[in-house]
């Protein structure tokens, strides 16, 4: 039976807009910090209770490897901004998504090819992404904390699942990708200690994506971001591989950075993340 853990939604809205509620699940009481949603975007807010695998605990890393944190979120949700904020700490190894490698595989831009013709190129792209994420997630470091911009787990249970559901991967391509991931999970230490989910409205991140104007993203429609949002919500509400801290990033940068500061003890592994220890 799976354990039940809180999905903490943290916001910096005023106390008149923030409610504190208690939930009971089995013999546990779960606390949720819930911000008042924007009426326009309220249909994007999902369940606040997450389960995670029995082999994942709330304790910090055992010291044999760094405390591993995956920063998850939609395109344009602010993952790179969060990494830049925390890379100033001397004990943090901030690992950005290897986008430049995806753009130049011996002269071939796999990222552009995938966005322009996903049915033709998605399997090739996912195959290469899994390799680069494996290299990133298993690299040696003397730092105490590793922050990853997305993870192998995200690639398998969010992007690959979405690609299958949209018909970008055939059944045999999907199974081949899953077989490789299963071997990695069973034979290598890719475990995570915490997931920080930057929850955002697809319309908001679509506007941000258009403003930053990456050439490969010019052909990415709002519908794709909506599908990715749903894939994230499904993955993290079904069976995430680690405790999940959710930050509401539908706010301005100053407010979001306040969330970084408030939750730094969890993100840096200095305090175990539990429902009873939420910073407000």
Taken in order 231, 236, 240, 245, is the CA torsion positive or negative?
A: positive
Instruction: State how far the alpha carbon of 22 is from the alpha carbons of 6, 29, 45, 272, 280, in Å.
Output: 11, 6, 18, 20, 15
Backbone angles phi, psi at 59, to 5 degrees: -75, 160
The token pair that represents 5 in the structure block: 């853990």
- For Cα atoms 43, 204, 194, give the angle at the middle one, nearest 5 degrees: 80
Please name the residues in contact with 87: beta carbons below 8 A apart, sequence gap of 6 or more. 94, 147
Instruction: State how far the alpha carbon of 181 is from the alpha carbons of 72, 107, 127, 187, in Å.
Output: 19, 26, 10, 10
> Among candidates 64, 63, 71, which has minimal Cα distance to 94?
71
Q: What count of other Cβ atoms lies within 10 Å of the Cβ of residue 3?
A: 15
Find the helix packing angle between 253-267 and 79-86, rounded to 10°. 60
The one-character DSSP state at 70 is E
Q: How far apart are the first and last CA of the chain?
A: 31
> Among candidates 128, 141, 155, which has minimal Cα distance to 70?
155
CA distance 91 to 98: 21
Q: Please identify every residue annotated as catalytic.
A: 149
């Amino acid at each position: 039976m799976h354990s039940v853990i809180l999905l903490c939604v943290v916001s910096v809205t005023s106390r008149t807009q923030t409610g504190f509620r208690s939930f009971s699940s089995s013999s546990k009481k779960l606390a949720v910090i819930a911000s008042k949603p924007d009426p326009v975007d309220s249909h994007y807010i999902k369940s606040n209770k997450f389960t995670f695998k029995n082999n994942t605990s709330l304790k910090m890393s055992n010291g044999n490897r760094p405390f591993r944190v995956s920063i998850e979120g939609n395109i344009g949700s602010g993952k790179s901004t969060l990494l830049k904020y925390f890379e100033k700490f001397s004990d943090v190894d901030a690992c950005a998504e290897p986008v430049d490698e995806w753009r130049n595989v011996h002269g071939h831009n796999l990222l552009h090819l995938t966005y322009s013709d996903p049915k033709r190129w998605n399997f090739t792209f996912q195959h290469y992404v899994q390799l680069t994420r494996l290299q990133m997630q298993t690299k040696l470091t003397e730092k105490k904390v590793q922050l990853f911009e997305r993870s192998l787990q995200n690639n398998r249970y969010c992007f690959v699942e979405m690609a299958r559901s949209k018909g970008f991967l055939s059944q045999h391509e999907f199974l081949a990708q899953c077989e490789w991931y299963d071997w990695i999970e069973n034979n290598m230490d890719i475990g995570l200690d915490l997931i920080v989910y930057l929850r955002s409205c697809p319309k908001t991140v679509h506007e941000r994506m258009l403003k930053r104007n990456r050439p490969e993203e010019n052909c990415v429609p709002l519908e794709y971001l909506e599908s990715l949002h749903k894939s994230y919500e499904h993955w993290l509400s079904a069976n995430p591989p680690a405790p999940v801290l959710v930050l509401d990033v539908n706010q301005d940068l100053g407010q979001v950075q306040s969330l970084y500061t408030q939750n730094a003890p969890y993100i840096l592994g200095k305090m175990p993340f539990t429902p009873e220890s939420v910073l407000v």
